């Protein structure tokens, strides 16, 4: 019994982390129509930057925000200087992000070496709650809270602000948005930066228990892909639901069917792509 509730809590906290990673991915996919194959690299690079700041004794939250800020700059540069050149050629854009992910992976290996880094859990959130004969680490519970808070923040941004209205218009029908005078290209940059920053933030949040290592990008990218395909590109609620589904499948799959853990993880993605290409909560695109 204790096993299952522990796994359930862990599923929720992994789900929260996945939401931070894939919310931006979903918006990029929805708006620009490309799966950004360097999203895992943003996560990893953010985690490494955060780990470096933590090693220099900076506060955990400062490190998370600084890493996110750095990724805003890097994401913006990638979008402005490279992706922009290939506007309209979606496949070339996807492949470009793939090539860049090679470059970032090697860059991280060069700067941080191949030796994994595991930053300490922030002191305020150390320890655990002992209840019902179980023991839950506070930090994992905190991640769930932070993910929900950021989900609310994003919801306000998308549904209640002018920028959000433009993004929604762009996701629904980019040519129409352009006709209505929305500068879609600037939106692309904004969304790409937001996505990169969220991924980096997730990277720092995840580092105390995932640790930061070469290959973290390749581990996280497929998870983000599944979440967004399941939930539906461009849908925040979809990303949230998808994240928690994948969190559960991942944890219970590893524990109950270790042999087929990855089949359990990827099969839903294949099924959704075939049976409901717009995703569980995605809108049918015109």
Partner 1 sequence: MTSNPGRTGFVLLLLAILATLPLWMTSLYYVNIASQILFWAVFALGLNVLVGYGGLVSLGHAGLFGFSGYVAALLMVNGYSHAAALPAAIIGTLLMTAVFAALALRSTGISFLMITLALGQILWGIAYRWADVTRGDNGVNVAGRPSPFGIDLTEPRAFYVAVFITFILCLLSMLALVRSPYGASLRGTRDQPRRMRALGFNVWMIRFIAFLFSGFWTAVAGILFIYYNQFISPQVMALQTSAEALLMVISGGTATLAGPVVGAAIVVIMKNVVSAYVERWNMVLGIIFVLIISFMPEGLVPGTARLWRSMMGRRRAAKMPLGLKVAGEGSR
Partner 2 sequence: MTVERRTILKAGLATAASVAMPTVLRAQAAPFRIGLLTVKTGPLAQGGIQMEQGLATFLKEKNNILAGRKVEVIVADTGGNPAGARTKAQEVVERDKVNIILGPLAAFELLALTDYVRQQQIPLISLAAAEDVTQRSTNPWVIRPSATSGQCSHVMGDYAAKEMKLKRVATICEDFAFGHEQVGAFLRVFEENGGKVVKKLWPPLNAPDFTPFIAQIGNVDGVFMGFAGSNPLKFLRAYADLGLKGQIPVTGGWTALDDALLKSFGDEAVGAMSATFYTSDHNTESNKRFVAAMAKDYDVIPGAYSAGMYIAGQCVEAAIAKLDGKTDDKQALMAALKGLSLTDTPRGAFSFDQNGNVVGDVFIRRCERQGGKLVNKTIKTYEKVSQFWTYDPAEFVKQPVYSRDYPPAKNLQ
Please state the closest distance from residue 72 (CB atom) to partner 1, in A: 21
96 binds, among partner 2, partner 1, none (CB under 5 to 8 A by kind): partner 1
- Scan for tokens 């931006």, then name that residue: 24
- Residue 196 dihedral angles phi and psi, to the nearest 5°: -60, -40
128 binds, among partner 2, partner 1, none (CB under 5 to 8 A by kind): partner 2
Binding partner 2 (rule: CB under 8 A), the pick from 55, 59, 61, 128 is 128
Measured CA to CA, the distance from residue 244 to residue 224 in angstroms comes to 12
User: What are the angstrom distances between the C-alpha of 159 and each of 154, 155, 169, 193?
Assistant: 8, 6, 11, 19
Q: Tell me if 60 contacts partner 2 by CB under 8 A.
A: no
Measured CA to CA, the distance from residue 84 to residue 10 in angstroms comes to 39
Query: Which window, 124-132, 139-147, 174-182, 224-232, contacts partner 1 (CB under 8 A)?
Result: 224-232
Q: Provide the token pair at 215.
A: 């290959």
Q: Name the DSSP letter for residue 161.
A: S
Q: Tell me if 267 contacts partner 1 by CB under 8 A.
A: yes
Strand pairing category for 134-137 and 128-131: antiparallel
Q: Tell me if 179 contacts partner 1 by CB under 8 A.
A: no
Q: Residue 76 or 222: which CB sits closer to partner 2? A: 222
Q: Tell me if 277 contacts partner 1 by CB under 8 A.
A: yes
Rg (the chain; Cα; Å):
19
> What's the longest Cα–Cα distance across the chain?
61
Q: Tell me if 251 contacts partner 2 by CB under 8 A.
A: yes
User: What are the angstrom distances between the C-alpha of 249 and each of 53, 58, 205, 237, 242?
Assistant: 33, 35, 21, 18, 10
Please state the closest distance from residue 280 (CB atom) to partner 2, in A: 24
Q: Tell me if 87 contacts partner 1 by CB under 8 A.
A: no
Q: Tell me if 35 contacts partner 1 by CB under 8 A.
A: yes
Contact 216, 45 (CB under 8 A): no
Using CB under 8 A, list all residues that contact partner 2. 3, 6-7, 10, 14, 109-111, 113-116, 118, 120-121, 128, 130, 135, 137, 139-140, 209-211, 213-216, 219, 250-252, 254-255, 258
């Amino acid at each position: 019994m204790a096993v299952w509730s522990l796994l359930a809590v862990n599923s929720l906290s992994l789900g929260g982390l996945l939401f931070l990673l894939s919310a931006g991915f979903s918006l990029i996919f929805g708006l620009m129509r490309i799966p950004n194959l360097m999203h895992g690299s943003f996560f990893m690079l953010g985690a490494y930057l955060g780990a470096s700041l933590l090693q220099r004794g900076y506060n955990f939250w400062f490190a998370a925000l600084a890493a996110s800020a750095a990724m805003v700059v890097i994401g913006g540069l990638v979008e402005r200087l490279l992706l922009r050149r290939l506007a309209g050629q979606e496949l070339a854009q996807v492949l470009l992000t793939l090539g860049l992910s090679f470059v970032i992976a090697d860059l991280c290996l060069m700067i941080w070496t191949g030796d994994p880094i595991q930053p300490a859990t922030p002191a305020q959130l150390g320890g655990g709650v002992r209840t019902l004969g179980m023991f839950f680490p506070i930090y994992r519970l905190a991640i769930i809270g932070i993910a929900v808070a950021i989900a609310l923040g994003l919801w306000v941004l998308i549904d209640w602000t002018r920028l959000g209205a433009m993004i929604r218009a762009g996701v629904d029908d980019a040519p129409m948005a352009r006709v209505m005078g929305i500068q879609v290209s600037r939106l692309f940059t904004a969304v790409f930066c937001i996505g990169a920053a969220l991924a980096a933030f997730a990277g720092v949040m995840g580092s105390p228990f995932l640790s930061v290592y070469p290959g973290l990008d390749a581990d996280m990218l497929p998870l983000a892909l599944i979440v967004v395909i399941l939930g539906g590109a461009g849908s925040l609620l979809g990303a949230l639901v998808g994240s928690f589904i994948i969190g559960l499948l991942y944890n219970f799959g590893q524990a109950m069917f270790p042999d087929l853990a990855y089949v359990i993880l990827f099969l839903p993605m294949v099924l959704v792509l075939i049976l409901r290409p717009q995703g569980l909560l995605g809108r049918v695109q015109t």
